[in-house]
Amino acid sequence: MYGNITIVDVPSGGEQVQDDPQKLAEFEARIARGEKIEPHDWMPTEYRRQLIRMIEQHAHSEIIGALPEGTWITRAPGFKRKIALMAKVQDEVGHAQLLYSAAETLGKPREKMIDDLLTGKSKYSNVFNYPAMTWADTAVIAWLIDASAIINQVANSKGSYAPYCRALDRICKEESFHLKYGYDNVVALATGTAVQREMLQEALNRWWRPIMHFFGPPDVASQHTEKLMRWKVKMATNDDMRQQFFNQYVPKILELGLTIPDPELKKDPETGKWSYGDPDWDEFKRVINGHGPCNAERLAVRRKAEENGRWVRQALARAADTYVAPLS
Ligand code: FAQ
């Protein structure tokens, strides 16, 4: 036991684990009936491993995701925007808290998850390895990255693992508000001075490719999609989510008088499918494997936060160990 969490020996990957075929068939029948799986229910070893991988990466993305926008809190233009940005950043950290708790229900202690983040063993979203260079970057992040996250999370909140779905439901409500905050900032810049419009367009140009990468590699190159969709962990493929983003957001971007930095982006009027230019998948691979512009800096900040906060965690753990409930 770790606190109130039972640590489960989860193979880190690669190893083939033979689950009881009868239990596996019963589990798959439950999934097919649309039932939700709770932490104490039987589940295949690989289902557990995949969920830990995905939820943990999602949690890491939220705490690391607080950093690019966080650097603008002290420089936000005006008191109201500063308060709104502070609240958004706090929400993102709260999302990490919910997601780490959901991942812990699967048997991996939080300390181990943080270790795996800090040693680079565990991934987090590509997008947060780029710098937020101007105020317009924060607007693009809050509008379009939050929009992308909502597309992904609304789909997955209908998935099979109940604690993850509950966390996603709550997160989506807050992200929807972030999206409105981001859109408000984007509209202010798009309808502002020529310099503000230029700053916005320049930010969009830099973020477009990372946003294309955000939804994951093309379906033909995705390693996990097939299995995750069969078990209803992932409820839409990477390409379907990207298409949904085009459908919803390309018209809104153009409506603001902005241009999309992909001359090949077009919609087939017959099939309704968007085709787009190569967003440089080699860059995606470099970034998710630790070699993006800010990977080292992001992990260094987290490492420092981890060290600085150690005494607080130790004090809280000691207090919890020695706490005696008052007699009622
Ligand atoms: N970044 O086989 P697939 C947010 C990796 S939350 C980094 O297609 P899968 C809120 C993937 O892990 C953002 N790595 O993988 C916010 C795998 O590597 P592995 C995070 C990526 O799992 C907003 C390999 O590539 N959201 O933004 C990425 O089926 C604003 C092969 O890929 C979630 O995590 C990527 N973009 O599909 C915060 C949602 N894409 O592990 C602050 C939950 C792929 O084998 C400010 N996750 N990889 O070494 C998912 O839905 C899925 O994991 C996908 C990837 C769709 C991300």
Residue bearing the CA closest to ligand 1, atom 36: 214
Q: How far is the CA of 125 from the centre of ligand 1 (A)?
A: 6
pLDDT tens, position by position, 179-198: 999 999 999 999 999 999 99
Tell me how far CA of residue 149 lies from CA of 98, 142, 241, 267, 270, in angstroms.
16, 10, 10, 22, 28
In a domain, residue 136? The reply is yes
The domain tally of the chain equals 1
Q: How far is the CA of 254 from the centre of ligand 1 (A)?
A: 27
Q: How far is the CA of 252 from the centre of ligand 1 (A)?
A: 25
CATH number of the domain where residue 196 is located: 1.20.1260.10
Full domain range(s) for residue 271: 21-291
Kindly state if the Cβ of 244 falls inside 6 Å of ligand 1: no
Task: Give the per-residue pLDDT at 9.
Answer: 52
Kindly state the average pLDDT of the residues 61-76: 98
Task: Give the per-residue pLDDT at 253.
Answer: 98
CB count, 10 Å around CB of 30?
Answer: 16
**At residue 14, does pLDDT exceed 70?**
no
Task: Give the per-residue pLDDT at 322.
Answer: 85
Task: Give the per-residue pLDDT at 2.
Answer: 39
- Give the mutation target among 57, 119, 143 for probing the ligand 1 site: most ligand atoms within 8 A of CB: 57
Nearest to 139 by CA among 84, 92, 90: 84
Tell me how far CA of residue 221 lies from CA of 16, 214, 239, 283, 285, in angstroms.
22, 14, 11, 15, 12
pLDDT tens, position by position, 263-322: 999 999 999 999 999 999 999 999 999 999 999 999 999 999 999 999 999 999 888 888
**Amino acid symbol at 82:** K
**Amino acid symbol at 326:** P
Kindly state if the Cβ of 238 falls inside 6 Å of ligand 1: yes
In a domain, residue 15? The reply is no
Higher pLDDT, 213 or 15: 213
φ and ψ at 22, to 5 degrees? -70, -45
In a domain, residue 251? The reply is yes
Residue bearing the CA closest to ligand 1, atom 44: 216
In a domain, residue 299? The reply is no
Residue bearing the CA closest to ligand 1, atom 28: 216
Residues 6+ apart with CB under 8 A from 300: none
pLDDT tens, position by position, 216-275: 999 999 999 999 999 999 999 999 999 999 999 999 999 999 999 999 999 999 999 999
Confidence of residue 10 (pLDDT cuts 50, 70, 90): low
pLDDT tens, position by position, 15-48: 677 899 999 999 999 999 999 999 999 999 999 9
In a domain, residue 60? The reply is yes
pLDDT tens, position by position, 143-185: 999 999 999 999 999 999 999 999 999 999 999 999 999 999 9
Q: Which two tokens stand for residue 180?
A: 């409105």
- Give the mutation target among 62, 69, 223 for probing the ligand 1 site: most ligand atoms within 8 A of CB: 223
In a domain, residue 184? The reply is yes
Residue bearing the CA closest to ligand 1, atom 15: 224
3-class DSSP string for the chain: CECCECCCCCCCCCCCCCCCHHHHHHHHHHHHCCCCECCCCCCCHHHHHHHHHHHHHHHHHHHHHHHHHHCCHHHCCCHHHHHHHHHHHHHHHHHHHHHHHHHHCCCCCHHHHHHHHHCCCCCCCHHHHCCCCCHHHHHHHHHHHHHHHHHHHHHHCCCCEHHHHHHHHHHHHHHHHHHHHHHHHHHHHHCCCHHHHHHHHHHHHHHHHHHHHHCCCCHHHCCCHHHHHHCCCCCCCHHHHHHHHHHHHHHHHHHCCCCCCCCCCEECCCCCCEECCCCCHHHHHHHHHHHCCCHHHHHHHHHHHHHHCHHHHHHHHHHHHHCCCCCC
User: Do residues 189 and 196 lie in contact, with contact meaning Cβ atoms separated by under 8 Å?
Assistant: yes
∠ at Cα 141 (78, 259), nearest 5°? 105
Task: Give the per-residue pLDDT at 125.
Answer: 98
pLDDT tens, position by position, 88-142: 999 999 999 999 999 999 999 999 999 999 999 999 999 999 999 999 999 999 9
Confidence of residue 11 (pLDDT cuts 50, 70, 90): low
Task: Give the per-residue pLDDT at 325.
Answer: 79
In a domain, residue 14? The reply is no
In a domain, residue 272? The reply is yes
- As a dihedral over the C-alpha atoms of residue 12, residue 13, residue 15, residue 18, rounded to 10 degrees, the angle is 90
